[in-house]
């Protein structure tokens, strides 16, 4: 965080309904949090998408509260200016309200200022309990990846009139219950626009069109670290995977050709210690003697 910049808070964010579009991006560790912070985003989401884009799982159902807490803590240690929101993972808020509050508290103690959970009206009891414990809640409607098996795959939601109306009702109920913002994932633009008009809290879209109060993308998708799939709603602003492969390939070629490391990338003994070593150890003459140096840390 740059000196003097003010942290984004839940009330300040909530108050930005209808203002300039809000920017949210996922982050899962200190480097991605620093990038998001330096880029000036409003919200960093420690998403359970970490399961798929970082941990290599096929769905988000595999991560636990402890997994999420480790990633939240790594993000929070950078003390970023954006609001840090943590996903409650699958089964952390489905068993009981007591369980939900305790699990959310683990994420708050790890550094999250708010939690996000998936689902509509059936989540109202846990939303109420979380707010009762003073934990701000962000809702998430539409394509809710933790429901992948119930939905029969990752599909656009709310395409029929009844389903679209149900999403509007869910959003109104979440907002009335006290959610400070609602993510809308993979719903038709018209449905997102109707929800955005119907609720007094910001909507943040991903695959929901431009009429939401803000947008969110998964970090690895937007910078091109993830290049295996390209959903319709992702715009790639970088090709970091290709750049990383090129960099590691160049490193491998240099090592194999003896070009890395060069002499000036090596530490040296002082001339007298090098001479003593050569006389004590036959064959220890390799390498040029130079200015004495010690060290081995990354800063040396």
Give min distance, CB of 218 to ligand KIV, in A.
Answer: 5
Using DSSP, state whether 40 is helix, strand or coil: coil
**How is the chain split among helix, strand and coil, in percent rounded to 5?**
40, 10, 45
For residue 139, list its beta bridge partners: 182
User: Which of residues 29, 37, 87, 170 is near ligand KIV by CB under 6 A?
Assistant: 87
Q: Toward ligand KIV, which CB reaches closer, 86 or 269?
A: 86
Does the footprint of ligand KIV cover residue 26 (CB under 6 A)?
yes
Using DSSP, state whether 112 is helix, strand or coil: coil
Give min distance, CB of 90 to ligand KIV, in A.
Answer: 11
Annotation says 185 is catalytic: yes
First to last CA, the chain: 26
Of the candidates 7, 43, 39, the one whose C-alpha atom is nearest the C-alpha of residue 202 is 43
The answer to whether 123 and 147 have CB atoms below 8 angstroms apart is no
Q: Toward ligand KIV, which CB reaches closer, 218 or 225?
A: 218
Does the footprint of ligand KIV cover residue 47 (CB under 6 A)?
yes
Give min distance, CB of 219 to ligand KIV, in A.
Answer: 9
107: left (phi over 0), alpha (psi -120 to 50) or beta: alpha
The stretch among 42-50, 90-98, 169-177, 236-244 that binds ligand KIV (CB under 6 A) is: 42-50
Annotated catalytic residue within 185, 190, 243, 265: 185
Give min distance, CB of 206 to ligand KIV, in A.
Answer: 5
Using DSSP, state whether 115 is helix, strand or coil: strand
Does the footprint of ligand KIV cover residue 183 (CB under 6 A)?
yes
- Per DSSP bridges, beta strands 181-185 and 203-206 are parallel
Residue nearest to ligand KIV according to CB distances in the complex: 47
Using DSSP, state whether 67 is helix, strand or coil: helix
Q: Toward ligand KIV, which CB reaches closer, 115 or 199?
A: 115
Name the site residues for ligand KIV (rule: CB under 6 A). Answer: 26, 45, 47-49, 87, 183, 185, 206, 216, 218
Q: Which of the residues are catalytic? A: 185
């Amino acid at each position: 965080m740059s000196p003097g910049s003010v942290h984004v808070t839940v009330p300040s964010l909530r108050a930005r309904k209808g203002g300039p579009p809000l920017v949210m991006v996922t982050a899962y560790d200190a480097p991605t949090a620093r990038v998001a912070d330096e880029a000036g985003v409003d919200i960093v989401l420690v998403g359970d998408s970490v399961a798929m884009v970082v941990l290599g799982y096929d769905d988000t159902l595999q991560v636990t509260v402890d997994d999420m807490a480790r990633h939240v803590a790594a993000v929070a240690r950078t003390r970023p200016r954006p609001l840090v929101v943590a996903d409650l993972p699958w089964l952390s808020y489905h068993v009981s309200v007591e369980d939900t509050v305790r699990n959310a508290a683990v994420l708050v103690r790890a550094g999250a200022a708010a939690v996000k959970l998936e689902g509509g009206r059936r989540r109202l009891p846990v939303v109420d309990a979380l707010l009762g414990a003073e934990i701000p809640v962000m809702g998430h409607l539409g394509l809710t990846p933790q429901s992948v098996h119930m939905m029969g795959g990752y599909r656009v939601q709310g395409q029929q009139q009844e389903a679209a109306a149900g999403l509007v009702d869910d959003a109104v109920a979440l907002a009335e219950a006290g959610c400070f913002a609602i993510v809308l994932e993979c719903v038709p633009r018209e449905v997102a626009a109707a929800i955005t008009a119907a609720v007094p809290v910001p909507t943040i879209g991903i695959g929901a069109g431009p009429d939401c109060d803000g947008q969110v993308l998964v970090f690895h998708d937007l910078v091109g670290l993830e290049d295996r799939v390209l959903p319709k709603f992702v715009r790639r602003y970088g090709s970091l995977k290709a750049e990383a492969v090129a960099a590691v390939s160049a490193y491998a070629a240099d090592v194999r050709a003896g070009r890395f490391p060069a002499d000036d990338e090596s530490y040296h003994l002082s001339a007298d210690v090098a001479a003593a070593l050569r006389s004590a150890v036959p064959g220890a003459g390799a390498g040029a003697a130079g200015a004495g140096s010690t060290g081995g840390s990354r800063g040396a």
